Amino acid sequence: MEFSDLLINWYLKNKRDLPWRKINDPYRIWISEIILQQTRVAQGLDYYNNFIAHFPDVRSLAEADESEVLKCWQGLGYYSRARNLHFSAKTILEKHGGIFPQNHAEVRALKGVGDYTAAAICSFAYGLPYAAVDGNAYRVLSRVFEMDTPIDSAKGKSEFFALAQELLDKKRSALFNQAMMDLGAVVCTPVAPECVHCPMQDVCLALAHGRVGELPVKSKKVATRDRYFYYFFIETGGYIYLHKRESDDIWKGLYELPLVETPCPMEADVLLDFAQNTLFGKNFPSPQVDKIHSAVTHVLSHLRIHATLIEARAAFLGDASSEYIKVLKSDFDNYPISRLTEILLTQR
């Protein structure tokens, strides 16, 4: 039996019951695919349902305020993906009259839509013959065909994509792509794959040659950088101060407490001197520090952030053009914040 028949036959008996598989609305498929790029299905389901409840179609997303979109994304991370969804919804409204594009080139041209997502949308929504190669597909293919080309190299990407496209059942592209994802997610997992329950066990070269644990191959190790964040929870008469991150750094568009970033860890007295020159001198007079919490280490894909929450009292010196906004504590939940800020605030 051919690879695609083995795969699809297995899938038809074992498929996961996911809400976006029962629809062919390209908008909802797009949202689900972007959410699933950064989270597991169990957690992604809640985000998907909440996002669709807030923005049921392209127009509602395009016309939303960016803060509303980020609020729905809060906790998922990779906020640029939410900003790209928002941007592309506006593009669909302006360039395509609010109708989701129906050919591969136009779908692929949307901001934030790469080869994988374009293929997933086009096959699931329209049955177009494009193989969607995600991490699951790389893993399954590298093992079944014992491919050693690094999956994070340009050569690897083009080899794996060409192979997937060749194997694709062109008349059943949606089933093929969904089956590949499920096999990689449920059976051919990164650690301890269940080869005894796998439909590929008779044809899998890595299994035959005892090389399952070696594949897939990756070439690069991503360097991790340390950053040191000191957040000041400054309270004045029921109000706190927030700052919107605007630069092209992590968490663009999210709100956070007044922040002092230092090049290395600092003791409290040195830190307050440092902060005097950056935060306090300009916007707040010398604060009264009430409490310095223990540092929390928060790991992102390429960063290790060492963050400390400091509770303080100080009057605000800034004017209307200040980068800080004064917010009623009771309104704080309306602002999109990073997972790190959420974690820090639970220390209070």
The residues assigned a catalytic role are 33
Does position 310 bind ligand SF4 by CB under 6 A? no
Q: How far apart are the C-alpha atoms of 54 and 69, rounded to whole Å?
A: 9
What single-letter DSSP state applies at residue 99? Answer: P
CA distance 282 to 172: 63
159, burial (CB in 10 Å: exposed 0-12, middle 13-18, buried 19+): middle
Q: Least distance from C-beta 173 to ligand SF4, angstroms?
A: 20
Is residue 71 involved in binding ligand SF4 (CB under 6 A)?
Answer: no
- Please report where in the chains the tokens 């074992």 appear, as a residue: 14
Bridge pairing between strands 296-299 and 255-256:
unpaired
195 binds ligand SF4 (CB under 6 A): yes
User: Is 7 a residue that touches ligand SF4 (CB under 6 A)?
Assistant: no
CB of 170 to ligand SF4, least distance (A): 22
Judged by CB under 6 A, which of 118, 163, 198, 272 binds ligand SF4? 198
Give residues 139-158 in contact with ligand SF4 (rule: CB under 6 A).
140, 143-144
Burial class (CB in 10 A: 0-12, 13-18, 19+), 58: buried
Spatial distance between the Cα atoms of 214 and 185, rounded to a whole number of angstroms: 18
Of residues 205 through 264, those in contact with ligand SF4 by CB under 6 A are 206-207, 212
Unique residue bearing structure tokens 């980068």: 323
Q: Give 34 or 185: the residue with its C-beta nearer to ligand SF4.
A: 185
Closest of 170, 178, 101, 183 to residue 144, by C-alpha: 183
Q: How far is the CB of 197 from ligand SF4 (least distance, A)?
A: 8
Interface region with ligand SF4, contact rule CB under 6 A, candidates 18-26, 110-118, 198-206, 256-264: 198-206
Q: Which of 53, 56, 31 has its CA nearest to residue 44?
A: 31
Task: Select from 92-100, 150-158, 200-208, 296-304 the region that touches ligand SF4 (CB under 6 A).
Answer: 200-208
Q: What residue type is 283 in one-letter code?
A: N
| Distances, alpha carbon 200 to alpha carbons 58, 149, 180, in Å | 40, 21, 11
Contact 213, 188 (CB under 8 A): no
Min separation Cβ 283 and ligand SF4, Å: 56
Q: Which of 80, 165, 201, 276 binds ligand SF4 (CB under 6 A)?
A: 201
Q: Of residues 193, 216, 287, 336, which one binds ligand SF4 by CB under 6 A?
A: 193
Nearer to ligand SF4, 214 or 226 (CB): 214
Told to check if 188 binds ligand SF4 by CB under 6 A, we report yes
Cis check: omega of the bond before 216, within 30 degrees of 0: yes
Residue 131 binds to ligand SF4 (criterion: CB under 6 A): no
- How far apart are CB 201 and ligand SF4 at their closest, in Å? 4
Residues of the shown chain interacting with ligand SF4 in the complex, contacts defined by CB under 6 A: 140, 143-144, 187-188, 193, 195, 198, 200-201, 204, 206-207, 212
